[in-house]
Structure 1
Amino acid sequence: MFKFKCANFLLFFYFLSGIFFCSSQNYRVLYKVNFHPQKNKTILKTEYMRLETLSKSKSIFYNQINKSDSIYSLSGNATPYLRFTITQDDKKYNYYGYFNDLFFVFNEPLKLDWQIGNKTSSFNGYKVQEAKIELDGRKWIALFASEIPITSGPYKFSGLPGLILKIYSEDGDYNFEMVELIKGSSENFSNTFQTSRYINLKKKKIANYIANFLKDPGSHSFTLQNTYGDRFDYSFSGERNSSYREMNEYIKNVHELYNNPIDNKIYILIF
C-alpha cells in the first residue's frame, strides 16, 4: 500500500512539474524601435531589438544586429545607434555599453512604480492594458498583455503583470512595438554574449568619462570605423594643430547625429 501511494505521489509530482514547465516556457520577442536620434529634429530611425526571456523575471535585451539575422535588413541600417545590451534579474538590471575604447557595465535597481489603469484595448490580437511610468527623464505609456506571464520587458522596463507589447515616450521620441513573438525557442543570446571585456563601473563615472571626452575629443586617441570595416586610428600628437582641430570638428558633427539618447545621459558616438 505504501509503495502504491508513493507511486501516485510521484506521478502527481511529475504532473505538476509538467504544468510548471509549460507555464514557464521562454519567449523571444522582436521589437521594432522607431526613434528620433536628434533633439528637435523630425528625422526618424528604425532599428530592431530582441528580448529573450530566461525565466519569468530574467531576460536579456539586445540589438538584433548583434546576431546574423536577416530581419535586421528591414531597418536599412548597417550601423546601429542603439548599441547596448541589458540583462534583467529579479529587481535589478545590468547595462552593457561601449564608448570609444571603453566597454562598460553598470547595474541599478529596476524602476517598478507603474501606474496601471483600467483602460484596455487590442494590440496585435492580444487584449492589452495601459500602464504609465517615468524613467530617466521621460514619461512612458505601456500596453501589456496579462495573458503572457512575463514580467521582463524591453530596455529597462519590468515589473508589469504581463509582457509589454508596446511602449512609447509621451514626447514621441521613442516607440517600441512587438512585431514577432516566438514561444519555447531554444536559442539563447546570453550563452554567446561575452561579458568578460566589460568593466564594472558606476554610472556617474561613465557619464563623466563621456562628458570629458566630448569637451575636447581631439586630445584623446580613438579609432574611426565605417560600415565597410575600414579603420582609421587617431592619436593626439600633443599639439593643437590642424589635425587636432579637424578631429574635434568631426567628432562634434558625429555627436550631433545622436544627441537624443533614451535616458538623456548615456551618449553613444556613431563612428
Structure 2
Amino acid sequence: MSKLKFKNVLFFIFLFCGTFFGFSQNYQIIYKISFRPQKEKPEYKTEYMRLETLSKSKSIFYNFLSKKDSIDIQEENKISYLKFTIIQENKNYKYYGNFNDLYFVFNEPLKTDWKVNNNTSDFNGYKVQEAKIELDGRRWTALFAPEIPINSGPYKFSGLPGLILKVYSEDGDYSFEMVELIKNISESYMDSFRTNKFVMVKKKKIQTFIFNFLKDPGSQNFKLVNSYGDEFGYSFSGEKDNAYREMNEYLKGVYRKYNNPIDGQIYLLIF
C-alpha cells in the first residue's frame, strides 16, 4: 500500500471514529446548579438538572428532583425552584414552563456569539478552554472540554466546540457544574414529556401576563399546587376584602422567595 493510500485510510478511520464518538451515542449529563433565589439575601440553594443529547442537533434539559437518581439529594432541597424544561434543536430552543395553571412554550433562536479564550487549564481531569457570553441580562463564563464533542449545553447555552463542564454568571448568582456523564442512555425523559399540553405563545406575551399578575395577584383567579401535588383553587370575589388582602400578601410573599430568576423577565412562582 502506498504512503498516500495509507494516510487516506488512517484519515478515514480517524474521521469515522470521531463521528461515531460524537453523534452515534446519546448522553445524560447531570449538572449541579447553585443559585441565589433572593436578590437581597446571601443564601444559596442547590438543585440538580439533567441534559440529554438526543441527536447531533437536539437535546433536552430538565429538573429531576422528583425522580430517583444516583445523586444524593438532601430532604430540604426537595422543592424545586427551577421548574422549566428546555429543548434545543437546529439552532433554536423551546422554553417550557407553567404559571397559574397556564402551560406555555415559546420558541427563540439560540445565542451562540461566544468569545473563546484559547488559554487552556484543567478542570475535574479534563482539559478545558474558557468562553464568555451575555445572556438574559447576565454575563457568563463557561469552561468547555473540546475532547467531549457535544455542543449542546445546560439551560440555553449552546454552540461551543465541546461540552460545557461549568458555566457561571459573573455576578455570582448562578453556577452550573457537571457532576456526572453517562453514555448510551436506554431511556429518555423525552419519551414521557408531554409537549402537547403546552400552548405556544410569544415570549413577550407571557412576560406581560406574569407582570400583570404580580402587580395585584389577589384580584386574579388561580390554582395553587404544592410540591406534593395538593391543589387549592382561589377565586376573586370582586371585593377587596380580607380574603383578597390575605391572598395578596401570601402570594407576594411567595414571589419574594424567588425574585432573582435566571431570566429576569420570567418569574416562576413556587407554591
Establish whether TM, by shorter chain, passes 0.5.
yes
Q: Which amino acid aligns with 1:258?
A: Y
Query: Does the CA contact (< 8 Å) of 2:22 and 2:150 recur in 1?
Result: no
Q: Which amino acid aligns with 2:215?
A: K
Query: Does the CA contact (< 8 Å) of 2:22 and 2:148 recur in 1?
Result: no
CA displacement, residues 117-176 of structure 1 (integer Å, 9 cap, x when unaligned): 022111111100000000011000000000010110000000000000000000000000
CA displacement, residues 156-201 of structure 1 (integer Å, 9 cap, x when unaligned): 0000000000000000000000000111222211111101110000
CA displacement, residues 30-73 of structure 1 (integer Å, 9 cap, x when unaligned): 00000001113201000000000012331000001253435362
Q: What SS is found at the alignment partner of 1:54?
A: strand
Paired position in structure 2 for 1:259: 259
- Deviation for aligned residue 1:209: 0.4
Give the distance between the partners of 1:41 and 1:256, measured in 2 at CA. 11
CA RMSD of aligned residues (A): 2.0
Aligned pair 1:150/2:150, yes or no? yes
Q: Cα distance 1:100–1:39, how it changes in 2: closer, same or farther (>3 A)?
A: same
**Equivalences for 1:4-83 in 2 at 5 Å?**
20-24=19-23, 25-65=25-65, 67-69=67-69, 71=71, 73-74=73-74, 76-83=76-83
- Any stretches of 5+ residues in structure 1 without a counterpart? 1-12
Q: Cα distance 1:18–1:142, how it changes in 2: closer, same or farther (>3 A)?
A: closer
**Equivalences for 1:76-155 in 2 at 5 Å?**
76-155=76-155
Paired position in structure 2 for 1:8: none
Give the distance between the partners of 2:240 and 2:200, measured in 1 at CA. 33
Give the distance between the partners of 2:227 and 2:91, measured in 1 at CA. 37
Q: What SS is found at the alignment partner of 2:209?
A: helix
- Any stretches of 5+ residues in structure 2 without a counterpart? 1-11
Give the distance between the partners of 2:258 and 2:48, measured in 1 at CA. 17
- Deviation for aligned residue 1:263: 1.2
Query: How many equivalent residue pairs?
Result: 259
TM-score, normalisation: structure 1? 0.90
Give the distance between the partners of 1:270 and 1:60, measured in 2 at CA. 23
Give the distance between the partners of 2:233 and 2:70, measured in 1 at CA. 31
Paired position in structure 1 for 2:179: 179
Give the distance between the partners of 1:129 and 1:21, measured in 2 at CA. 23
Q: Cα distance 1:83–1:72, how it changes in 2: closer, same or farther (>3 A)?
A: farther
Q: What SS is found at the alignment partner of 2:55?
A: coil
Q: Cα distance 1:105–1:187, how it changes in 2: closer, same or farther (>3 A)?
A: same
Q: Which amino acid aligns with 2:210?
A: I
Query: Does the CA contact (< 8 Å) of 2:91 and 2:109 recur in 1?
Result: yes
Query: Does the CA contact (< 8 Å) of 2:30 and 2:51 recur in 1?
Result: yes
Q: What SS is found at the alignment partner of 2:39?
A: coil
Percent of pairs with identical residues? 67
- Deviation for aligned residue 1:27: 1.0
Q: Which amino acid aligns with 1:266?
A: I
- Deviation for aligned residue 1:253: 0.5
